[in-house]
Structure 1
Amino acid sequence: MVGPAPLEISVGSAPPGLTLVGVGPGDPELLTVAGLRAIRAAAVVAYPLAREGAEGMAAAIAAPWLEQRQRRLPLLFPMVPEAAPRIAAWHAAADALAAEVAAGLPVVLLCEGDVSLFASSSYVLLALRQRHPHCPLHLVPGVPAVCAAAAAAGAAGIAWPLALQSEALLIRPTPETAVELETLLERAAGEAAVLALLKLGQRWRWVRPLLERRGVLEGALFAQRVGWPDQLVTSAAAVPAEERPYFSLLLIRQGWPEVLP
């Protein structure tokens, strides 16, 4: 049997093109081999910033694998509710990336988590296909935070498999209102689905008491900054009802399958 090729790849050794790389939720060790190959072969490493002067989280995750010879290309993706600034930013990013590729360079765009799951890179992908349809493009999936949270729970002694047997998995950003969340919980219960709520943040102040009233708080898993040194993964009942970081999530199971060990 032929084993995998060694990872001795020189910077800029790949042909011109753009690779979108999911770097995982926080731990550099969760980068895939394919993602690491793409990063090492790139001459230009692009990454998103929420505002000028900020540190890019995706770049911070990949930092141990980057080399000084690689040129950094920060791309501003403003986190604002208005559509126009976001669309303009995606178009500008697509144009900048396509220009680097047209100059004959291998380029990677780093993305937190996975490149296709609630990812800014997805909008860049759509803008590229519209504005630069001939730009060579490749996508490398990454580890989503929901998967990493369930794994971290298991490592911490909390048995919380993400989905079992015929269970469905429903992944959603946390709703803005209690009414929306009630509806979502009822849907998940009716479909025997595990509910993953992302971007919990300040909503935890009212989400926690709602889950407690419904009797599902004790069995829910709370995860915050998964993969980072200050990671918190614990029972949701152990977390006070106060504002939490933006990168926090909940896994909610309202019932277990009949056949279990």
Structure 2
Amino acid sequence: MGVGPGDPELLTLKAHRCLRAAEVVAYPVARLDATGMAAAIVEPFLDPAQRRLPLVFPMVTEPEPLLEAWRAAAATLAHEVQQGRRVVFLCEGDVSLFATGSYVLLALQRHHAELAVEVIPGISSVAAAAAAGAWPLAFQKEGLLIRPCPETPEAMEALLALAKASGTVLALLKLGVRWHWIQPLLQARGLLDDALFAERVGWPDQRVMPAAAVQAGERPYFSLLLVRQGTSAVLP
């Protein structure tokens, strides 16, 4: 179940209804003593009688620990359902977009196919950032590419060229440390004034502003950039 990027008021009505009906509320954490961002989002709506079920997903890139975590989470969720309990698994943002929930869903489908699973979409950080900045994501025939930020200036140059040639708006996630070289690169191409920068979307310390207002340097992991290089749309 997608719970949006941070603001509890961005929870959908369907997500709220299913959340309130659940007996077990499961959510991802990096370690057992952590709260979990998805759990923090829905905390205002939880009832003390609902059992909290943190599921550990290590912050690593090696495949084996990740596979083990996804399969273990699926097995735990399946066990709860098989005991006749109503269970929801929370996911920050949208459950199908760069989400831990996507891998858990695949593990459930492959190893516990007998279970009935419903996927409830959530608002993504990209959509929430565009709305907060009054920045239309795509006009008319423009394309929209959502992807993690490139790792090198060369890759970024190639992506900008491809996007410009195809009339595609770029939504680049996980800027983090890369902003120190992306900012001057965009500045040299005159793209900062029309780009939108956002970090910690939906949280109390959210920042959404023109990219030209953000100096080069390291930014939080949960930061993103929206870049448009001109448009062929008929605009008012």
TM, length-normalised to structure 1: 0.89
Which letter maps to 2:178?
Answer: R
Percent identical pairs in the alignment equals 63
Q: CA RMSD in A?
A: 0.9
Which letter maps to 1:102?
Answer: Q
CA distance in 1, matches of 2:26, 2:32: 15
State the match for 1:22 in structure 2. Answer: 2
Deviations 1:143-191 (A, max 9, x none): 011110011012xxxxx21111111110000111111111111111111
Instruction: Using the TM superposition, give the Cα deviation of residue 138 of structure 1 relative to its aligned residue in structure 2, in angstroms.
Output: 0.3
Secondary structure at 1:183 match in 2: helix
CA distance in 1, matches of 2:130, 2:114: 39
Deviations 1:95-124 (A, max 9, x none): 000000000001000000001000100000
CA distance in 2, matches of 1:179, 1:52: 39
Q: Does 1:218 align with 2:198?
A: no
State the match for 1:87 in structure 2. Answer: 67
CA distance in 2, matches of 1:80, 1:51: 12
More divergent stretch after superposition (143-152 vs 175-184): 175-184
Instruction: Using the TM superposition, give the Cα deviation of residue 258 of structure 1 relative to its aligned residue in structure 2, in angstroms.
Output: 4.1
- Select the residue among 199, 202, 209 that pairs with 2:184: 209
- Select the residue among 93, 97, 102 that pairs with 1:117: 97
TM, length-normalised to structure 2: 0.98
Instruction: Using the TM superposition, give the Cα deviation of residue 209 of structure 1 relative to its aligned residue in structure 2, in angstroms.
Output: 1.1
CA distance in 2, matches of 1:200, 1:110: 24
Instruction: Using the TM superposition, give the Cα deviation of residue 55 of structure 1 relative to its aligned residue in structure 2, in angstroms.
Output: 2.1
CA spacing shift, 1:110–1:219, aligned 2, 3 Å? same
Instruction: Using the TM superposition, give the Cα deviation of residue 230 of structure 1 relative to its aligned residue in structure 2, in angstroms.
Output: 0.6
Secondary structure at 1:138 match in 2: coil
CA distance in 1, matches of 2:153, 2:160: 10
Count of residues in correspondence between the two structures: 236
CA distance in 2, matches of 1:52, 1:235: 38
Which letter maps to 2:76?
Answer: A
* Pairing of 1:9-158 with structure 2 (within 5 A): 21-154=1-134
CA distance in 1, matches of 2:87, 2:32: 21
CA distance in 1, matches of 2:164, 2:192: 14
Instruction: Using the TM superposition, give the Cα deviation of residue 73 of structure 1 relative to its aligned residue in structure 2, in angstroms.
Output: 0.5
CA distance in 1, matches of 2:219, 2:233: 34
State the match for 1:227 in structure 2. Answer: 202
Which letter maps to 1:186?
Answer: A
State the match for 1:180 in structure 2. Answer: 155
CA distance in 1, matches of 2:31, 2:172: 25
CA distance in 2, matches of 1:123, 1:172: 17
State the match for 1:191 in structure 2. Answer: 166
Question: Which consecutive aligned stretches of 4+ in structure 1 deviate over 4 angstroms post-superposition?
Answer: none
Secondary structure at 1:68 match in 2: coil
Instruction: Using the TM superposition, give the Cα deviation of residue 215 of structure 1 relative to its aligned residue in structure 2, in angstroms.
Output: 1.8
CA distance in 2, matches of 1:216, 1:50: 36
Structure 2: runs of 5+ lacking an equivalent: none
Instruction: Using the TM superposition, give the Cα deviation of residue 199 of structure 1 relative to its aligned residue in structure 2, in angstroms.
Output: 1.0
